[in-house]
């Protein structure tokens, strides 16, 4: 299989859809690659086997990436396509974040029963989520809502909503777009109401460090602007994401040669909201994320971060 390309992916419908979209882009950029020899290698990860919804949003521990990393290092696949959000902030030795392609919409989509918006939901309605980040930000606006855990992948969560397990839920707009399922959503949430997760909507392609053939094949897909965004947002997360599953949000944008980053941290019940923002030259995207992460530690205070693990544990009941 000298000329072939094996593309590792998780098996979830979203992962399969976005990896196939990347396969098509790779083929379009590399006319010498044959369609038949450029194949998806779907794999089950530890994260897929753990049916606990909250873990779906943890991401940072490599639950969705380890098996793909092993396959890469063993030479069973040549690259792997991940949601950047599910990638740990530190990659294993020998594996490189080789390509960051164009970003999908970073924001969260709101799916309300009878198309009710956040403000239209009746008092005490059930807010379904497996993400403390989303839950906390919506509760900050609507403290009367009753949070319930809604687990599973996109399709499962929509089924549960239809069954009345919750009156509303949120999903990444990017995921719905890639699945062609935007018809189910009521609206997109703006960043004042719900700042996205760091790197939401970004795909991350990993490969073996030093694999020059794969690097050449993927080079046309790289988007330097999105690379800077991913770098800043991941650095911010890395500074804050110790052992606790903090509701952390961050979004950056590039304007000219500067990258602007906004970060937010909340307790799970949304009773407070700490926000921080700053900008730097694009070349210093990582330093910006690290600095704002440290500033956030100071702003929310060590007592807040010390209390968070217990607050997070309580939030999952």
Ligand X SMILES: NCc1[nH]cc(CCC(=O)O)c1CC(=O)O
56 binds ligand X (CB under 6 A): yes
Which candidate in 3, 48, 70, 86 is catalytic? 86
233 binds ligand X (CB under 6 A): no
241 binds ligand X (CB under 6 A): no
| 86 classed as catalytic | yes
CA 16 vs CA 70, 179, 264, 287: distances in Å = 19, 9, 31, 34
81 by Cβ neighbours in 10 Å (0-12 / 13-18 / 19+) ranks as: buried
Range 81-140, binding ligand X (CB under 6 A): 83, 85-86
Tell which one of 98, 111, 172, 232 touches ligand X (CB under 6 A). 172
User: Binding segment for ligand X among 112-120, 138-146, 166-174, 303-311 (CB under 6 A)?
Assistant: 166-174
Nearer to ligand X, 83 or 229 (CB): 83
308: which 2 tokens?
């968070």
CA 90 vs CA 93, 171, 202: distances in Å = 9, 25, 17
Between CA 110 and CA 200 the distance in angstroms is 15
**Contact, 98 vs 210, CB < 8 A?**
no
Question: Phi and psi of 38, rounded to 5°?
Answer: -105, 95
Size of the site for ligand X (CB under 6 A): 12
User: Binding segment for ligand X among 52-60, 87-95, 217-225, 231-239 (CB under 6 A)?
Assistant: 52-60
175 binds ligand X (CB under 6 A): yes
Range 182-221, binding ligand X (CB under 6 A): 200-201
Residues with active-site annotation: 86
Binding site for ligand X (CB under 6 A): 56-57, 59, 83, 85-86, 171-172, 174-175, 200-201
């Amino acid at each position: 299989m000298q000329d072939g390309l094996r593309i590792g992916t998780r098996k979830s419908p979203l992962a399969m859809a976005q990896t196939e979209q990347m396969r098509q882009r790779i083929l379009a950029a590399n006319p010498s690659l044959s369609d038949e020899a450029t194949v998806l290698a779907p794999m089950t990860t530890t994260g897929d086997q753990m049916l606990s919804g909250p873990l779906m949003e943890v991401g940072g521990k490599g639950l969705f990436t380890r098996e793909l990393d092993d396959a890469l290092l063993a030479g069973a696949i040549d690259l792997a396509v991940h949601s950047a959000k599910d990638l740990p902030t530190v990659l294993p030795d020998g594996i490189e974040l080789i390509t960051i392609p164009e970003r999908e919409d970073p924001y969260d989509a709101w799916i309300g029963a009878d198309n009710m918006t956040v403000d239209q939901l009746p008092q005490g309605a059930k807010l379904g989520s497996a993400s403390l980040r989303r839950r906390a930000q919506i509760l900050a606006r609507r403290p009367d809502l009753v949070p319930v855990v809604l687990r599973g992948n996109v399709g499962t969560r929509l089924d549960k909503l239809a069954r009345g397990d919750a009156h509303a839920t949120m999903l990444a707009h990017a995921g719905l777009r890639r699945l062609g399922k935007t018809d189910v959503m009521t609206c997109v949430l703006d960043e004042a109401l719900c700042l996205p997760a760091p790197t939401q909507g970004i795909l991350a392609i990993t490969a073996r460090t030093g694999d020059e053939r794969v690097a050449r094949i993927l080079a046309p897909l790289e988007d330097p602007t999105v690379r800077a965004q991913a770098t800043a947002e991941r650095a911010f997360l890395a500074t804050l994401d110790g052992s606790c599953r903090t509701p952390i949000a961050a979004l950056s944008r590039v304007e000219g040669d500067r990258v602007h980053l906004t970060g937010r941290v909340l307790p799970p019940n949304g009773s407070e909201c700490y926000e921080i923002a700053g900008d730097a030259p694009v070349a210093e995207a990582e330093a910006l994320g690290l600095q704002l992460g440290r500033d956030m530690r100071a702003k929310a205070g060590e007592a807040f971060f010390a209390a968070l693990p217990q607050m997070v544990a309580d939030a999952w009941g």
